[in-house]
């Protein structure tokens, strides 16, 4: 071990940046704290404009060779990265849980296998990426996807490695080089990813990892003139700053932002299913952008729905996320907990009623909360809390349900519970959302477009949509009979 290596639950993690195929330390550090118990994990290299410039320079230098690498070879390396992830699922899982507080069982069974799948999917999609040629007045049109160039990917803390590789995998598959900037509250698995990628044979400079604060290293990255793409997942205020930073260079952006998604429960729905869907919204301590945090329930079944929900929620176990029986872990940081509680206390002061919860349990954990008697224009209904806080409102008609569902500035997702197929078709057609789930939740396929409407984001990723963003899509038009015979 060296002064730049942490041991996290028995796993060695390098605390330095990864730039140009080597480890680079900063003069300053920042403190990484575990949300499980508030203990200090260690000191992490704190990037500045200097490291940002070095990372972009490394990505720019590596780009021509990586862009010229055949699709088959790029795909082979991405599959090798997936192999490396699968060999280290247990290590990645325990480090991620220690760093961001999400359930260890979820990391082992779902999240880390999905990380490997991200690489395999985009490697395979690359090999079949094509558009059928078509003719215009006898001329042949041929569509191709050219690598765009160095890309900066800025990722959140709620699902650090899974959401990072959701961006890294298609960007690398497209032939771009990458600078990954993980969230400062959960930087550790990005460092491990750099090790895995290097072991898999990814050339130096193709993937770079720079840690630190957005105001110090993030701004220097997003304003860099040599960038060709920026992808960000996070909050609306941060997205605005990134967009302003990128505007001077007209750098294309993909923004996956927050949500205030509704769960619409109609009287004809299977109430047991609806309650199961509702309780699922406490997943990851409510720190899920797609969560249906606003319950809109038809008046005639609202009382019964609420009774069953309270009974079901009471069976959840909140505590140490490393324990197999835990259902809800901690929130990421004391500052986030304070923000959550401030939302709730303001709502209660304004007349809301806490059916369950409504308070913090200690400095790391917030009690699962359901608030009723909330006005549609209230802060708690309109703004993203990003914690285990849900609201319940009622409606009397289908039209009212749709109006309430659409009446926020967001449009990331919506969930609908009904036994009427025709109603489902009518309502989903009217909902403003990038993804709508009918009688299910969080069923995701990488082939599908993903993104939000309104303030929930700009652009779509997944399948070919990802390549459309990370590439310069070119159309080549060839005239007929234009070739000289040199035979």
Backbone angles phi, psi at 280, to 5 degrees: -60, -20
Active site residue 440: no
Outline where DSSP puts E strands in 337-470: 353-356, 369-372, 389-395, 413-417, 435-438, 457-458
Mark residue 311 as left, alpha or beta (left: phi above 0; alpha: psi -120 to 50; beta: remaining). Answer: alpha
Exactly one of 256, 298, 384, 461 is catalytic; name it.
256
Packing angle, helices 160-173 and 463-470, rounded to 10: 70
How far are the Cα atoms of 130, 154, 251, 388 from residue 145, in angstroms, in the given order?
8, 23, 18, 42
Measured CA to CA, the distance from residue 115 to residue 299 in angstroms comes to 42
What φ, ψ does residue 286 adopt, rounded to 5°? 80, 5
* Residue 110, helix vs strand vs coil: helix
Assigned token pair, 485: 């015979």
Residue 89 makes CB contacts below 8 A (sequence gap 6+) with 108, 112, 113, 116
**Dist. CA 473–CA 141, nearest whole Å:** 13
Cβ atoms 270, 438 nearer than 8 A: no
266 Cα distance to chain centroid: 30
Q: Dmax of the chain from CA atoms?
A: 87
Q: Is 256 a catalytic residue?
A: yes
The label of the residue with tokens 């519970």 reads 417
Active-site hit among 91, 184, 216, 289: 289
CA gap 264, 294 in Å, rounded: 8
Pull the structure tokens for residue 45. Answer: 């290299």
Give the DSSP H/E element, type plus range, for residue 73: helix 71-87
DSSP conformation letters of 206-235: TEEE--S-IIIIIHHHHT-TT--EEEEES-
* Separation CA 258–CA 378 (nearest Å): 18
Euclidean distance between CA atoms 437 and 291, whole angstroms = 11
Round to whole Å and give the CA distance between 280 and 191: 31
Residues annotated as part of the active site: 256, 289
């Amino acid at each position: 071990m060296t002064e730049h290596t942490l041991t996290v639950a028995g796993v060695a993690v390098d605390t330095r940046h990864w730039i140009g195929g080597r480890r680079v330390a900063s003069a300053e550090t920042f403190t990484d704290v575990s949300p499980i118990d508030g203990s200090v994990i260690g000191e992490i290299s704190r990037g500045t404009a200097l490291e940002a410039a070095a990372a972009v320079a490394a990505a720019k230098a590596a780009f021509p060779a990586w862009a010229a690498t055949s699709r088959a070879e790029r795909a082979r390396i991405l599959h090798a990265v997936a192999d490396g992830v699968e060999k280290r699922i247990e290590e990645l899982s325990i480090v991620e849980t220690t760093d961001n507080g999400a359930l260890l069982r979820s990391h082992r069974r779902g999240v880390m296998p999905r990380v490997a799948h991200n690489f395999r999917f985009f490697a395979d999609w690359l090999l079949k990426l094509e558009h059928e040629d078509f003719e215009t007045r006898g001329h042949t049109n041929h569509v191709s996807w050219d690598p765009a160039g160095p890309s900066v990917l800025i990722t959140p803390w709620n699902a650090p490695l899974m959401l990072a590789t959701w961006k890294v995998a298609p960007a690398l598959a497209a032939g771009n080089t990458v600078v990954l900037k993980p969230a400062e509250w959960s930087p550790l698995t990005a460092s491990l990813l750099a090790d895995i990628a290097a072991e898999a044979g990814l050339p130096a400079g193709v993937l770079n990892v720079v840690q630190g604060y957005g105001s110090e290293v993030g701004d220097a990255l997003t304003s860099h003139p040599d960038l060709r793409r920026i992808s960000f997942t996070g909050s609306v205020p941060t997205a605005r700053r990134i967009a302003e930073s990128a505007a001077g260079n007209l750098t294309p952006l993909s923004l996956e932002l927050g949500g205030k998604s509704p769960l619409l429960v109609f009287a004809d729905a299977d109430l047991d299913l609806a309650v199961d869907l509702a309780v699922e919204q406490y997943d990851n301590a409510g720190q899920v952008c797609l969560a249906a945090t606003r319950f809109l329930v038809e008046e005639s079944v609202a009382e019964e729905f609420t009774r069953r929900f309270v009974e079901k929620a009471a069976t959840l176990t909140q505590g140490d996320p490393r324990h197999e029986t835990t259902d809800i872990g901690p929130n990421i940081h004391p500052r986030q907990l304070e923000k959550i509680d401030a939302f709730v206390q303001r709502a209660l002061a304004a007349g809301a009623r806490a059916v369950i919860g409504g308070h913090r349990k200690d400095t790391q954990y917030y009690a699962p909360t359901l608030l009723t008697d909330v006005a549609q224009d209230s802060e708690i209904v309109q703004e993203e809390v990003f914690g285990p806080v849900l609201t319940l409102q009622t409606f009397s008609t289908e039209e009212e349900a749709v109006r309430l569902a659409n009446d926020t500035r967001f449009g990331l997702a919506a969930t609908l519970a009904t036994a009427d197929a025709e109603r489902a078709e009518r309502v989903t057609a009217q909902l403003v959302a990038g993804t709508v789930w009918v009688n299910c939740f969080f069923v995701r396929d990488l082939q599908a477009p993903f993104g939000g409407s309104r303030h929930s984001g700009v652009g779509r990723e997944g399948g070919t949509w990802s390549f459309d963003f990370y590439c310069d899509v070119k159309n080549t038009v060839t005239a007929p009979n234009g070739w000289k015979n040199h035979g």
